[in-house]
Chain A
Amino acid sequence: MHITLRIWRQTNPAGPGRLVTYELSDVTEDMSLLEVLDLLNLQLARNGEEPIAFDSDCREGICGSCGLQINGRPHGPLKGVASCQIHMRTFKENDTITIEPFRAKAFPVVKDLVIDRTAFDRIIQAGGFISVNTGGAPDANAIPIPKNTVDAAFEAAACISCGACVAACKNASAMLFVAAKVAHLGRLPQGEVERKERCLSMVAQMDAEKFGACSNTYACEAECPKEISVDNIAFLNRELLRAKVF
C-alpha cells in the first residue's frame, strides 16, 4: 500500500521543529507502524540522510519506550495498545499519517520523536516504593492478602510509564501515572506504613516537575495502553485528603 507520512522533525531540544512529509509505496498490511518508520529510516540511511529518531524497544507493548502522537491521539486510533502494536491494516490505502512526539513541558523533546520522560523516574524516586532492604523480608505467605485487593493493585501496577496519560491530558497532567503507583502500593498491606509519606512526596515531586493539574476529563484513561482506571485518581485524591486533613 501507499502511505503518506507527516513526521515531526526537530534537531535539538530548543527547536524549532516542523512536520516533514514522506511518501512510501512498498508498505504491506502486516507491517507495524514502527516497521514503516524502520523502512523509511533504511531508505534515508542508504541515501546518507539522517534517519528519524524515535524510541522503541520491546515492540510488544510492555517496555513503554514508544510514545507517539499518531493522527492526533497518543498511541494512535486503537484502544488499549501502545504505538508499537499499531499495524498498517488499521489504515487505508493512500492514508496520511501524522506522527508527533508526546508534548508536555515536563517531557522535553530530545530530537525528532524522542522525548525525555525522566520526570516520571524522579517521581518514583521521591516515594514510589516500599522501604524494605534486601534480606529482611518475612515469608511471602506471612500476610494473606485478599485476592481482589491484589488484583486491584496489579491492575494499577500494570502501568508501563509511557506517558500517554500526560500526552492525552489537555493540562499535561501526570495524575494517572502518580495515582497508579500510589494506588498499587497503597492498597497493599505492605505499603500501609509509608502510605501518607509516599503520597505527599510523590505529589510534591509531580508538581515540581511542572505537570498540570487534573481536570477529570478522563482522556488519560481512554488513551492508556493498559487501560488503567481513573478510579485510581480518586484513590490518590482520597489519600492526599487523608494525609493532610484527617
Chain B
Amino acid sequence: MRPTVTVYGSSIGQKIISAITGLFLCLFLVVHVSGNLLLFKGDEGKAFNEYVIANTNSLLIRSIEIVLFAGFLIHIFWGIRVWLFNRRARPLDYVENRPSENSSLPSRIMFITGMLVILFLVVHLRTFWIAMRFTGTGGLSDYELVQATFQSPLYDSFYIVCMAILAYHLRQGFQSAFQTLGLRPIWRRAIDWVAVIFWLIIPIGFAAMPVYFLIKGAS
C-alpha cells in the first residue's frame, strides 16, 4: 500500500489551509475598513470612539478576536512552512531566468509581501490596538490617537506604502485562494471582479485615512 494523503500532510492541503485562512482574513478586512469609515464622519470622532468602546466591551467581538488571531497565526505559520518546503524543491537556481515572461510580479513575491505585511501588523497593533486596549492612549480619545498618529508624514508614508504592499499581496492572494479551493473556470471572471474590492478598494480605503488626517491637520 502506498502512503496516503491527509489534508494538511499534502502540499495541496497546506495550500488549502492558507487559502481558507486568507479568505477569512479578507473578511476581517471588510469589517475593519467599514468600521474605520466612521473616522470620516466629520463628528470629531464621536461615532468612532463609541464604536471602539462597544467593540472593546463586547464579549462576542472579544471571542472573535481570538479566532482572528488564530487565523493570522495559522496563515503566517503555514505561509512560512510552504515557503520553506518550496525552497527545497530547487536547490540550485538558474543562471539565467526570466520569470517576468511567464508570470506576474505579485504572484512571485507573495512571501515577501506577506512578511512586510507582518512587519506592518506589528507596528500597527503596537500603535493602535495595544494602546487602545491595554496600555492606554495617554489621555487622548481613540479618535485623537488616530489623528495624532497620522500627523507624522513619516508614519503616513510608511502606512501608505504598507497598504500598497497589502494590495499587492491581495492582488494575487484573493483569486489564488479560489483556484486552490478548486473554483470552476466559469466563476473565474466573477471572482476577478470581486477581487477588485480587495486589492484596490479596501487598500485605498485604508490609505485614505492618513491622507485625510494630513489634509485635515494642515487646514
Contacts and interface: CB of A to CB of B under 8 A. Distances in A.
A and B touch in the complex (CB under 8 A): yes
Interface of A: 8, 15, 19, 69, 71-73, 77, 98, 100, 103-106, 126-127, 168, 170-173, 175, 200-201, 203-208, 210-219, 222-223, 229-231, 233-241, 244-245
B16 interface: yes
A222 to B, nearest CB: 4
B13 A106 contact: no
Contacts of A175: 12
Nearest to B106: A217
Nearest to A224: B102
B5 A105 contact: no
Contacts of B94: 69, 72, 100, 103
B95 interface: yes
Contacts of A171: 86, 89-90
Nearest to A238: B182
Given A100-B94, A211-B89, A244-B13, A219 B102 contact: yes
B49 interface: no
Contacts of A210: 88-89
B207 to A, nearest CB: 26
19 contacts: A69-B97, A103-B90, A105-B88, A170-B103, A171-B89, A210-B89, A213-B12, A214-B12, A215-B86, A216-B172, A216-B175, A217-B103, A217-B107, A230-B179, A233-B179, A235-B182, A236-B182, A240-B10, A241-B16
Contacts of B5: 200, 203-204, 207, 240, 244
Interface residues of B, number: 46
B57 interface: no
A216 B99 CA distance: 14
B98 A213 contact: no
B53 interface: no
Given A168-B102, A217-B104, 15 more contacts: A8-B95, A69-B94, A100-B94, A171-B89, A204-B3, A204-B4, A205-B2, A207-B5, A212-B89, A213-B15, A213-B82, A222-B103, A234-B179, A234-B183, A238-B184
B74 interface: no
Interface of B: 2-7, 9-16, 82, 85-86, 88-99, 101-104, 107-108, 110, 172, 175-176, 179-185
B96 A219 contact: no
B13 A214 contact: no
A98 B97 CA distance: 10
Nearest to A179: B12
Q: 8 tightest CB-CB pairs across the interface, nearest first?
A: A238-B182, A212-B89, A72-B98, A222-B102, A171-B86, A213-B11, A172-B89, A212-B86
A72 to B, nearest CB: 4
A237 B176 CA distance: 12
A103 B179 contact: no
A103 B15 contact: no
Contacts of A223: 102
Given A126-B2, A217-B108, A203 B96 contact: no
